[in-house]
Structure formats: structure tokens, C-alpha cells
Amino acid sequence: MDRYIKVRGMHDILPDDVLKWQFIEKVLTETVKHYGYKEIRTPLVESRSLFERSIGSESDIISKEIYAFKDRKGRDIALRPEGTASVVRAFIESGMCAEKKVFRLYYYGPMFRYDRPQKGRYRQFYQFGIELFGSEHPFFDGEVVTMLHMIVNKLKLQKYYFLVNTLGCLKCKNRYSDIIKEYLSARENYLCDDCKRRIITSPLRILDCKNPDCKQTFSGAPVIGDVLCNDCKEHFKAFEEYLKLNNVPYKVDPYLVRGLDYYTRTVFELYVGGEENAIAAGGRYDKLVQQLGGPDIPAVGFAIGMERLISLVKYSPSQIPFFYLACIGKEAKLKGAIMINELRNEDIAVETDYEEESLSSHLKMANKTGANWCIIIGEDEIKRKEFIVKNMLSGHQITIPFNNYINRIKELLK
């Protein structure tokens, strides 16, 4: 019989690791709740076209990495490769978008991309993200980055910084895109094959290319800052001001563009500990709600890659103190069957093993499970109407009478 192994790109989170995940999840959710964010839960499955329209059909995420298939009725559906599209869809569909106010939403869950797995990258991976709808004020851009900054501080991460840039509003972005297209068309022969194709499909992405020849080629090209309208310039300036006021460490990278088509104006990425990969990234998407059939509502958000974040966080798990119940003999086992549930009913953690027969093997088991105390009940104890509690660390033992024993046990926990 062949053993089953996990499907490529999938991973288990085993019990010891779950404690770390839960710790980080708690830091994340509690932080964003203090900023006024409320959780939204959307399906893992959406219409394929939702992602095509939001992220962009030409993007790598859609063209190469989407988990898409037809269901039994022939509908084109896809596993979500990111969270924003679904949240925007729900924001519109639920009617939340009708109310004129700022909405702050957060989400958490698995995303799917058909990538080649490697360090910090999985086909099913977890993202924690936030979206803020209803204002294009640049201080909101600053606020979400500052919140991210607070999160990395709370998790005690070292050596981190933000890369920020602006792509301009839709007009500026398109104008700049045309300028780049024109500039690079004349120099097409110096570009890599991918970038030659991108001249037509997504010229801005060429700025992000790591190929040295491409870098050299566009190094003389105009930067976005040169062609922005006044509003966009002011927007970015105010955003930077907000970051400075809150001591957020950042660098402007005029070549920072994002792999998703929907971004406008502010974009940013968070790098930690000299890692190559960003652990969080986001930006503003002022026209996405409208593009997906909703009203003209601006928004800004980010997503954190959980696996990448978790690999950088130091955490030493602490277990709640608990008892191991050792019952020897039939009488004792019956007494123990009552006591163990009386204790658990008082929220006192107790483990036992019904199979073990000798005191020696019970104590071995208590030791193995890491119990703080072992409660010992044998025939002698039944006769004397009292039982033994052994401290597993010191070896010290005390006896406690069966009547009103709960309070004595509780004293040990203090």
C-alpha cells in the first residue's frame, strides 16, 4: 500500500506550529480591530472572470497561476488567488457600498496560486489582508502603512523597511504607460523576450524586470514623478508626510510597480530581515469598485503573506498547566472517571490514559505528556479516602482528601 503524501504545493500546519500561528493571528486581528476593522469572510471560490477583470487577464497571476476549472454545470470558476477581488465583490453585492462612510474590512484565509513551490511559497498559502473603502485622502494610505508598521513592531521583527511609490491616478498611469511604451519601443532590441511582449501588454511591468539589460535600457527613461498631475503629486507628498510623522522607515522606489492591474497612486511593499521576498504589499485601487460594477468608491489595502511572516517571527510556546490522572485498580478507575470530569468542568486541564495499569507506567506517561502534576489514585487511596498529587518537576507529593478536593487543586494552579 503506497503512502499518501500531500499534494504538491500544499502543506500541513502541525500542532506545535499552530500555537505560533494562533499567536500571530491574535496580534494581527487585535491590532486591526483597534483601527476599526471588521472581519469579512468570503468564499474561496469565485467566478473566474471576477479575477480576470480585477487583477488583469494579462497578469502572471491570471495567465499562468490561476487554479481555474469548470463546475458540473460548465461555469468557469476559480480558487481565489488573492483576497481583494472577493472583498470588493461582496462590498458591492451586499449593498455596503451604498452607505457613504469609510468602511474598514479585514480578511484571513487560504489563497491559491499554481506556482512552483519553493521557500516561503506554496500553492495554498494564507493571507491576512485589510481593505479601506470610501476615501481617497492620502492620510488613509499613510494609516494602513503605519498600521502595518505597528504590526511588525508588535511581532518584534528586526531590520524592516517599506518601499513606496506612486503609479498616479488612472490618467497619469495611462499617460506614463504610453510614455514608457514609446521610449522602450525604440529600444526594443535591448530588452529580454518577456519585456518585448510586455511593451504591448503591460509596459509598466518592464520597470520591475530584474534583467540587467532591461534595467540598463529603462534607466534613462522618464520616472513617474516627472509626469504626475498636481493632484497625484500632492497625494504622494501627503502620504510621505504621514509616514514621516509616524516614524515609519521607508524608501521611495520609482521602479516599484505591482503585479496586479488594479493599483492606482500609492503602492508599497514591506521587507523584513534582508529577505528577498516582500512579506506584505498593497496599495490604492481607486477605480476597482467601479470597474467591478459598483459606484465610484476609492479604496486602499494590503495583504500579508502569513507563511513568510511566520518564518520571521520568534515565538516560544507556553502551554497551560495541566494534570495527569493515574488510576491503579478497578475501584480507582471508577473514582477517576468521575473526578476527571469534575475537574474539567471547573476548567482544569486533565489528561489520562485508561490503558495503563501500573503506577510506574502511569508516571512514565505523565512525564511524556509534560504534565505539571500527577494525581495518583490506587487501592490504598480509595481506602483512606484521599489521593496523592505529585509535582512532576520537584517530585514533591501531597495528599488531598476526596471531599472538597477541587479547591485544593485550584490552589496548586495559583
Binding residues with RNA: total (CB under 7 A): 65
Which of 93, 254, 379, 398 forms a contact with RNA (CB under 7 A)? 379
Which of 358, 401, 408, 410 forms a contact with RNA (CB under 7 A)? 358
Which of 94, 98, 367, 410 forms a contact with RNA (CB under 7 A)? 367
Which of 57, 158, 341, 397 forms a contact with RNA (CB under 7 A)? 397
- Least distance (Å) between residue 98 CB and RNA: 29
**Calpha distance 46→42 (Å, rounded):** 9
Which residue, 137 or 378, is less far from RNA as judged by CB? 378
- Decide: is 227 part of the binding site for RNA (CB under 7 A): no
Distance of CA 335 to the CA centre of its chain: 47
- Decide: is 305 part of the binding site for RNA (CB under 7 A): yes
All three cell numbers of 178, joined, read 504610453
- Least distance (Å) between residue 136 CB and RNA: 21
- Decide: is 109 part of the binding site for RNA (CB under 7 A): no
Site for RNA in 180-209 (CB under 7 A): 194, 205, 208-209
Per DSSP, the residues of 229-268 read: -HHHHHHHHHHHHHHHHTT--EEE-TT---SSTT-EEEEE
- Least distance (Å) between residue 83 CB and RNA: 10
Q: Is 247 exposed, middle or buried (0-12, 13-18, 19+ CB in 10 A)?
A: exposed
Applying CB under 7 A, the span of 41-49, 111-119, 161-169, 292-300 interacting with RNA comes to 111-119
Torsions phi, psi of 198, nearest 5?
-70, -20
**Calpha distance 396→376 (Å, rounded):** 13
Which residue, 94 or 201, is less far from RNA as judged by CB? 201
- Decide: is 60 part of the binding site for RNA (CB under 7 A): yes
Alpha helices, DSSP H only, in 222-375?
224-227, 230-245, 288-291, 306-312, 330-345, 359-369
Which of 31, 51, 52, 82 forms a contact with RNA (CB under 7 A)? 82
Which residue, 97 or 280, is less far from RNA as judged by CB? 280
Contact 144, 302 (CB under 8 A): yes
Stretch 136-175: interaction string toward RNA, x if CB under 7 A: ----------------------------------------
Which residue, 238 or 313, is less far from RNA as judged by CB? 313
Applying CB under 7 A, the span of 95-103, 165-173, 235-243, 379-387 interacting with RNA comes to 379-387
Distance of CA 245 to the CA centre of its chain: 27
Smallest CA-to-CA distance from 402 within 352, 357, 335, 351 is with 335
Q: Would residue 373 be called left, alpha or beta, if left means φ above 0 and alpha means ψ between -120 and 50 degrees?
A: beta
- 373-377/323-327 β-pairing: parallel
Contact 162, 272 (CB under 8 A): no
**Calpha distance 393→87 (Å, rounded):** 51
Which residue, 124 or 231, is less far from RNA as judged by CB? 124
Which residue, 54 or 97, is less far from RNA as judged by CB? 54
- Decide: is 277 part of the binding site for RNA (CB under 7 A): yes
Cβ within 8 Å of residue 86, ≥6 positions away: 42, 43, 46, 50, 80, 107
Q: Which chain residues interact with RNA by CB under 7 A?
A: 5-9, 11, 59-61, 65, 82, 113, 115-122, 125, 127, 194, 205, 208-211, 258-260, 269, 276-281, 303-305, 307-308, 328-329, 358-360, 363-364, 366-368, 376, 378-381, 388, 390, 392-395, 397
